[in-house]
Amino acid sequence: MKELASRGYAQAFETYCASRILEYREAGDRIFFLLDRHETSYADTKNKRLFSMKDLQESGNDSDLYGTIAKLKEDSDEVFYKEAPGSSSLFTRLAKAQSVASSMGVQPFQSVELIGSSPARSLLSNVIITQSALPSVPVIMNMSHTGISQASKCSLFEVGRNLNFRIVDKQEEE
């Protein structure tokens, strides 16, 4: 978790996410933001082993957008909050999009890319939720600049092969 608090890590992640947002905006694609929402009593939750209170204090309140990412958010972007690794509100939104699109004989999205700074299990949970809600839409798990350990990445590449989603891991030179 020390890597998450690193200023260099945070800057690289922010820069990378901003570039992806700009690429998707230029293509006219939809952008959703999925943010953690921890209650004040976070230390008493079953997820408390994921972050120490010291890590949370050092990294700031992760329930809002900051810096360049906050400036790139537009009113038309949808924001989803989650209190657990997977977002039920994201699943509901995507499942409704799938239902409407299916009734018209089209796909709701060409593909969905998820990028996250959260632990691997949270990112993976939302990839699986997305894949479940959109069974015929390609799902991409982007681990570039996420701070996920190499060992976890190796495990996730194996999971990706077995569950049929694509993984991207580009660590661009600073």
pLDDT digits (tens, 9 = 90+) for 51-68: 444 444 444 444 477 788
Give the count of beta carbons closer than 10 Å to the beta carbon of residue 152: 17
Q: Does residue 142 contact residue 114 with C-beta atoms inside 8 Å?
A: yes
pLDDT 10s digits, 99-137 = 999 999 999 999 999 887 666 778 888 899 999 999 999
Query: Which one is predicted more confidently, 41 or 81?
Result: 81
The predicted model gives 70-93 an average pLDDT of 88
pLDDT in the model for residue 51: 44
Helix (H, G, I), strand (E, B) or coil at 142: strand
Which strand (E) or helix (H) includes residue 119?
none
pLDDT in the model for residue 24: 94
Which strand (E) or helix (H) includes residue 162?
helix 150-163
Tell which residue, 162, 76, 174, 75, has the closest CA to residue 127: 162
Which pTM value belongs to this model? 0.74
pLDDT in the model for residue 70: 87
pLDDT in the model for residue 49: 45
pLDDT in the model for residue 118: 62
pLDDT at 72 over 90: yes
What rounded mean pLDDT belongs to the chain? 77
Phi, psi for residue 76 in degrees, rounded to 5:
-80, -10
Q: State how far the Cα of 146 lies from the Cα of 156, in Å rounded to an integer.
A: 13
Query: Which one is predicted more confidently, 82 or 42?
Result: 82
Q: State how far the Cα of 91 lies from the Cα of 133, in Å rounded to an integer.
A: 6
pLDDT in the model for residue 167: 77
